[in-house]
């Protein structure tokens, strides 16, 4: 007996639509490894329709006063809270995430972030007007950019969607958002909610649009002549392709492309507390987090003690089904990701040691055991490249200089942390570490008021904060003669 699959649809100009040519792709629940829905495999006609809708809606939305844009976002935040259980269920089916942790760790920050950008809508700033040339007054206008093409990743489909649409709408832009082909369900539900609020407030239908599809769909969005800005969270390879494509017509580009966060642990730290916090920050969401605490550097004097304690903590962490309240994380997102994580472990050099884990869990779905690997060298593949799974590596360092060299010795530069009781040392490391974020004696907390974004191959542009809001505006100089 064949179970009928749920049908997800694009959201274009206020209407749910199938792909113009009827093509679909199956959406798989990573807990079971079985399809539960179909989603449009959108082609050129669908991208054209979404861009046309966003372009048509832009002039009216651009001219809406900030207070009204704030009102829209506040009502979206309220609606997300009211329909939180539906969003949680959709996200869990998308990703296999634990229901309880999605309820406590994702919905509240998402709602808070939307409300932050609602306030930011009314805080457009520029340098004060003044006479910088005799007889002439200059002032600055901050304006929306236009249509924004946005591509969200599969590790946090809902939250990364919020990080993209909230500042864009707050600044007066219109949006075409594409979720990952493996996780469209929660984004389609968000479209229903946002569309309802837009309609209730009488705003243009095309302000917010969702197009489902694969890499080719995303490529068509980036190459399309309408968007003035492209924002993507994804792999370095994807970011490079987007930047190259967008350069052909000088689109503005916003890239968040992953990380390889160093976690630098000095000998004076509280080892038990550090192990507890680092293991949680490393294994949360199955390590599928660009800022995950998965590359630990430990002073040689406490290395063996730390590795033993971390391996013990990891062995006690549980992965399992979303409704199990005792699990810290669920499955990897898809079969390809399971193969990638397994491949890193299978290719470990002879000098590496798997302290715990290192294998798939069960024969259904894409679960992987919490894993700790020690004995590694700086140029090992697993140190240099992003695993994006529940794998924590541990290296030993001899002094502060070596710790800094190891920490900075990768191509990523998104986030990092320092663990020490020595304030001066913490300040030296916070200056020396070449990462967009440096946490001290903690790892992974984010707040709406502070920027998130990296350097080097982790990309450019900021999410969250006033800096993230500014990225969705353009600056215009206006000069007027005082002679009348």
- Which are the contacts of 269, defined by CB distance < 8 A and separation ≥ 6? 419, 420, 421, 441
Counting beta carbons within 10 angstroms of the beta carbon of residue 216, is it exposed (0 to 12), middle (13 to 18) or buried (19 or more)?
Answer: middle
Q: What is the 3-state secondary structure (H, E, C) of the chain?
A: CCCCCEECCEEECCEEECCCCCCEEEEEECCCCEEEEEEECCCHHHHHHHHHHHHHHHHHHHCCCHHHHHHHHHHHHHHHHHCHHHHHHHHHHHHCCCHHHHHHHCHHHHHHHHHHHHHHCCCCCCCCCEEEECCEEEEEEEEECCEEEEECCCCCHHHHHHHHHHHHHHCCCEEEEECCCCCCHHHHHHHHHHHHHHHHHCCCHHHEEECCCCHHHHHHHHHCCCCCEEEEECCHHHHHHHHHHHHCCCCEEEEECCCCCEEEECCCCCHHHHHHHHHHHHHHHHHCCCCCCCEEEEECCCHHHHHHHHHHHHHHCCECCCCCCCCCECCCCCHHHHHHHHHHHHCCCCCCEEEECCCECCCCCCCECCEEEECCCCCCHHHHCCCCCCEEEEEEECCHHHHHHHHHCCCEECEEEEECCCHHHHHHHHHHCCCCEEEECCCCCCCCCCCECCEECCEECCECHHHHHHCCEEEEEEEEECCC
Six token digits for residue 358: 């290192």
Report residue 90 as tokens. Answer: 């959709």
Please pick, among 93, 106, 223, 256, the residue that the annotation labels catalytic: 256
Residues in the chain: 484
Integer angstrom CA distances of residue 332 from 166, 168, 287:
27, 30, 9
Q: Which residues of 296-327 are buried (b: 16+ CB within 10 A; e: fewer)?
A: bbbbeebbeebbebbbebbeebebbbbeeeeb
Contact present, 366 and 30 (Cβ < 8 Å): yes
- Select which of 93, 290, 355, 386 is catalytic: 290
Whether 143 is catalytic: no
Cα(8)–Cα(296) distance, rounded to whole angstroms?
41
437 is catalytic: no
Active site residues: 256, 290
């Amino acid at each position: 007996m064949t179970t009928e699959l749920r049908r997800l649809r694009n959201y274009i100009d206020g209407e749910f639509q199938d792909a113009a040519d009827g093509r679909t792709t199956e959406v798989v629940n990573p807990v079971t490894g079985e399809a539960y829905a179909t989603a449009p495999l959108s082609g050129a006609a669908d991208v054209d329709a979404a861009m046309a809708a966003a372009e048509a809606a832009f002039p009216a939305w651009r001219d809406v006063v900030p207070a009204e844009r704030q009102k829209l976002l506040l009502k979206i935040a309220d609606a997300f809270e009211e329909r939180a259980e539906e969003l949680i269920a959709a996200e869990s089916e998308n990703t296999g995430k634990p229901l309880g942790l999605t309820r406590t760790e994702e919905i509240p920050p998402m709602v808070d972030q939307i409300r932050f950008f609602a306030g930011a809508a009314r805080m457009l700033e520029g340098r004060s007007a003044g006479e910088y040339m005799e007889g002439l007054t200059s002032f600055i206008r901050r304006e929306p950019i236009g249509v924004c093409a946005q591509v969200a990743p599969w590790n946090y489909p809902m939250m990364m969607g919020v990080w993209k649409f909230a500042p864009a709408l707050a600044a007066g832009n219109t949006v075409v958002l594409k979720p990952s082909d493996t996780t469209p369900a929660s984004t389609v539900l968000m479209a229903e909610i946002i569309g309802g609020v837009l309609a209730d407030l009488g705003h243009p239908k095309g302000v917010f649009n969702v197009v489902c599809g694969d890499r080719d769909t995303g490529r068509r969005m980036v190459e399309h002549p309408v968007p003035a800005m492209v924002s993507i969270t994804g792999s370095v390879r994807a970011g490079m392709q987007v930047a190259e494509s967008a350069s052909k017509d000088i689109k503005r580009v916003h890239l968040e492309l992953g990380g390889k966060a160093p976690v630098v642990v000095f000998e004076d730290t509280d080892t038990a507390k550090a192990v507890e916090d680092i293991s949680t920050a490393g294994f949360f969401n199955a390590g599928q987090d660009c800022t995950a605490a998965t590359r630990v550097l430990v002073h040689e004097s406490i290395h063996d003690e730390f590795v033993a304690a971390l391996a013990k903590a990891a062995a006690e962490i549980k992965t399992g089904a979303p409704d199990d309240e005792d699990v810290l994380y669920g499955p990897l997102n898809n079969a390809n990701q399971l193969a990638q994580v397994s491949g890193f472990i299978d290719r470990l050099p002879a000098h590496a040691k798997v302290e715990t884990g290192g294998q798939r869990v069960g024969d259904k779905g894409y679960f992987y055991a919490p894993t700790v690997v020690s004995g590694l060298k700086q140029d090992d593949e697993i140190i240099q490249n992003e695993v994006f799974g529940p794998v924590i590596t541990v290296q030993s360092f001899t002094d502060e200089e070596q710790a800094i060299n190891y920490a900075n010795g990768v191509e990523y530069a998104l986030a990092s942390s320092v663990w020490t009781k020595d304030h001066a040392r913490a300040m030296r490391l916070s200056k020396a570490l070449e990462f967009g974020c440096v946490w001290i004696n903690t790892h992974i907390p984010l707040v709406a008021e502070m920027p998130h974004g990296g350097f080097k191959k982790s990309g450019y542009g900021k999410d969250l904060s006033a800096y993230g809001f500014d990225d969705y505006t353009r600056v215009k100089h206006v000069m007027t003669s005082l002679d009348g």
